[in-house]
Amino acid sequence: MKAPALASRRAAELREQLREHDHRYYVLDDPKIPDAQYDRLFAELLRLEAEHPELLTADSPTQRVGGAPRPEFKAIRHGQPMLSLRKCNDEEELRDFDRRVREALGRDAVEYTAEPKLDGLAVSLTYEAGVLARAATRGDGETGEDITDNLRTLRSVPLRLRGDGKPPRRIEVRGEVYLPWAGFRKMVKDAEAKGDKPPVNPRNAAAGSVRQLDARITASRPLAFTAYGAYLDSDRGPPTQALGGRHGPLPQLGSGVLEQLREWGFPVSALIETVKGVDGCLKYFERIGRKREKLGFDIDGVVFKLDSLAGREELGAVSREPRWAVAYKFAAEEAETVVQNIEFQVSRTGALNPVARLKPVFVGGATVSNATLHNLDEVERKDVRIGDHAIIRRAGDVIPELVRVLPAKRPRDAHKLVIPRKCPVCGGKVEREEGEINPRCTNGLSCRAQLHGALLHFVSRRAMDIDGLGDKLLEQLVVQGLVKSPADIYQLDAAKLADLERMGEKSAQNLVDAIAASRNTTFARFLYALGMPDAGEATARELARHFGTLDALVAAARDDARTGDAEKDKDRYPKLRAVPDVGPVVAAHICHFLNQNAGAIRKLVEDAGVNWQAPKVIAGGALEGRTFVLTGTLPGMSRDEASALIEAHGGKVTSSVSKQTSFVVAGAEAGSKLARAGKLGVPVLDLQGLRKLLE
Ligand code: IVH
């Protein structure tokens, strides 16, 4: 069926606008409209495409969500091989490179483009008739892996070339996918909160995120892309790049290619410069070295490329390395030092995390005296002993890491770490539970470290969102004994606060107002704020939705506690495990937490006055007694909203399709759940169908 002209025109218009906003936001870093307005345009396009599926195009901004996991990566043969770079380590080697280039070309002086060497992974993007057709990893240089679905989820990767005019038949764009530090820190935090093994450095994290068979995981990682080269008509063109066509004459220079890429909408590093001769290269190298700490992402050196494309062609490549380019690497940010001690830091959830105390050493522009050891498994695997000589590595402002110890230099009195029986902060009992890597302090909020961590989490933006209660201030409140549990925050008054360091009367009053305002919240936020181990925002929402009231949840945890010792896994924690995505380990943690902290939780509601609106359930709602499963992307409605809608009308939402399921509500890109509904004969509705049921 053909879509009405009006819808078709509007869809094209929306796609154009969204592309422009994506470009401004993700490439130029200069957004022009508020996020909410963007979301509205996006929702409108989703709705149009759902109503008229024939309007959907592969390059639509809505097509950046990952689909269902694939069984494996397909191989993709590169049109042009992906070469590697010759490396040089000092000034002399760089001067040698420049001399060879000049001699081969018979020139006295040449110009180079000087670029930061991004520390991520190389990718190749093929555009056919201006639309992203394929994306591949480097692989062995000739053949890589098909990561098209994954790279489509990166907002900085254009799905279509910008600009009007006829796009080239085919281009292959080369660039780097990497993870900025902020994103890396977030991934580490998320992994630790879940008890997963955190990634060791941003490059590994980026590589792991790109090589995901499930593109939805890639989509959830804050990856960045930057382009640094391209080949036109790549399956037939000359080995060096030549571009252009639409915007006038072919670029003659590498810098011209980069300019063209920028116009097409690719992010190109703003740090790239054209420099004269080897002296220009050396000056650039120094300049970048000074900026390195402030870039916000890892670079491991600088790449110099002969700017003249004709010159590149003349020089060619030997053994997979172009003779016209070189990587000048920074001196390794590694240093040797001594592990003077291994101590434990106590986290919000009581986990004792090992930290190496080092003999201070200057590395990568800063003095380092601590290095993370991640967890006890790592200590064991690396066989770190107190007194060992060790290599540590520092990358930007990422926490320094202990790479390996030097067993040959191990002193006789080096000794293994002893797991403390008492918490180093509060002296409380320490236990190492089955299946847990790190031991835990069992003292809960009576432990100062846990209390401080718990409070920081409690007031954070996505939890109770109390503005103005920072780290330092909380520490004072804890140390002075003014706050012994989250509920005590609500007993603070302006007079008490004004007495604290760096607190005026005005800011004390503002804080009291912010605290008061935070009392009105939602059940899901409240549960998230409690900081149950393993319960992130998503789990908190599921718990809130499933139990509806705090009383119901607390009662379930009380009942489940009696099942903790059951013989078989399936008999343990049945009530908590009825919640979507809550498995036996998570259920055990939540159950334990709720029972241990029942008093503090009740105080928050009864004494501190924290409250939320009960979800409005329409008595005798149209959906009463019916069970729903949601799958795929619903047009203009998030999954949470759809669940809330169903529940408000008395229905129940579960996560897996069974014979008991009354309806499956399916949106775009619905996967295995839809298939299962078909197999079991469960009726399937779209959003309109659901709405009809409500009427
Ligand atoms: S050019 C023919 N430019 O370094 C030249 N590579 O061994 C091929 N890299 O993993 C690469 N930043 O991904 C080039 N500005 C840059 C780069 C860069 C990082 C990486 C590249 C590859 C390695 C080359």
Q: What pLDDT is attached to residue 1?
A: 57
Q: What pLDDT is attached to residue 245?
A: 36
Q: Of the residues 261, 275, 303, which should be mutated to test ligand 1's pocket, given the most ligand atoms within 8 Å of the CB?
A: 303
Q: How far is the CA of 120 from the centre of ligand 1 (A)?
A: 9
Q: What pLDDT is attached to residue 448?
A: 93
Rounded Cα distance, 536 and 525, in Å: 10
Q: For 127-170, what is the HEC assignment?
A: EECCEEEEEEECCCCCEEEECHHHHHCCCCCCCECCCCCCCCCE
pLDDT of residue 356 exceeding 50, the answer is yes
Q: What pLDDT is attached to residue 240?
A: 37
What CA dihedral angle connects 331, 332, 335 and 341, to 10 degrees?
A: 150
CA-based Rg of the chain, rounded to a whole angstrom? 29
In the numeric block, the tokens 């900081």 are attached to 531
Residue nearest to atom 12 of ligand 1 (CA): 117
pLDDT of residue 568 exceeding 90, the answer is no
268 lines ligand 1 (CB under 6 A): no
Where is 497: in which H helix or E strand? helix 494-498
CA distances to 201, 352, 421, 573, 591 from 584, in Å:
30, 22, 27, 7, 10
325 lines ligand 1 (CB under 6 A): yes
669 Cα distance to chain centroid: 23
Averaged pLDDT for residues 294-320: 92
573 lines ligand 1 (CB under 6 A): no
- 226-278 confidence digits (pLDDT tens): 999 998 764 434 433 444 333 345 678 899 999 999 999 999 999 999 999 99
Residue nearest to atom 17 of ligand 1 (CA): 117
Rounded Cα distance, 56 and 46, in Å: 9
pLDDT of residue 683 exceeding 60, the answer is yes
323 Cα distance to chain centroid: 37
550 lines ligand 1 (CB under 6 A): no
122 lines ligand 1 (CB under 6 A): yes
Residue nearest to atom 9 of ligand 1 (CA): 117
Which residues carry out catalysis?
117
Rounded Cα distance, 569 and 565, in Å: 9
Listed residue (469, 459, 458) closest to 500, CA to CA: 469
228 lines ligand 1 (CB under 6 A): yes
Q: Which backbone phi and psi does 643 adopt, to 5 degrees?
A: -60, -45
Listed residue (10, 20, 160, 138) closest to 75, CA to CA: 138
Mean pLDDT of the chain: 88
Where is 280: in which H helix or E strand? helix 277-291
CA distances to 112, 536, 615, 661, 695 from 619, in Å:
74, 31, 12, 21, 15
CB 629 within 8 A of CB 639: no
CB 543 within 8 A of CB 535: yes
Show the tokens assigned to 150. 């994954």
51: left (phi over 0), alpha (psi -120 to 50) or beta: alpha
Q: Can you tell me which atom of ligand 1 is nearest the CA of 272?
A: 15
Rounded Cα distance, 140 and 553, in Å: 54
- 374-403 confidence digits (pLDDT tens): 888 889 999 999 999 999 987 655 678 899
- 606-617 confidence digits (pLDDT tens): 999 999 987 666
Rounded Cα distance, 488 and 620, in Å: 41
Cα end-to-end distance, the chain, whole Å? 28
Asked which of 60-69, 116-125, 405-414 is least confident by mean pLDDT, the reply is 60-69
pLDDT of residue 589 exceeding 80, the answer is yes
**Cβ of 331: how many Cβ atoms within 10 Å?**
11
Beta pairing, strands 520-521 & 430-431: unpaired
Residue nearest to atom 2 of ligand 1 (CA): 83
Q: How far is the CA of 189 from the centre of ligand 1 (A)?
A: 30
Asked which of 30-34, 63-67, 130-134, 664-668 is least confident by mean pLDDT, the reply is 63-67
Q: What pLDDT is attached to residue 233?
A: 61
pLDDT of residue 21 exceeding 50, the answer is yes
Highest mean pLDDT: which range of 121-125, 462-466, 468-472, 617-621: 121-125
